[in-house]
Amino acid sequence: MPPVECADFAVWDTLSGETLGVEDKARKKEKAGAGRGFNWFAILLAAIVAYGGWILADQQMTMGALDDDMAAARERLQAARTENQQLKDENTRLQDDGYIEKLAREELGMTRKGEMPYIYADNK
Give me the pLDDT at residue 41, please.
Answer: 92
Per-residue buried b or exposed e for 45-79, using 16+ beta carbons within 10 Å of the residue's own CB: eeeeeeeeeeeeeeeeeeeeeeeeeeeeeeeeeee
Strand runs labelled E in the chain: 10-12, 19-21
120 confidence band (pLDDT: 50, 70, 90): confident
Give me the pLDDT at residue 73, please.
Answer: 98
Give me the pLDDT at residue 61, please.
Answer: 97
84-95 pLDDT per residue, tens:
999 999 999 999
Return mean pLDDT, the chain. Answer: 81
- Residue 50 corresponds to which amino acid? A
What's this model's pTM, rounded to 2 decimal places?
0.49
Percent of the chain with pLDDT over 70: 69
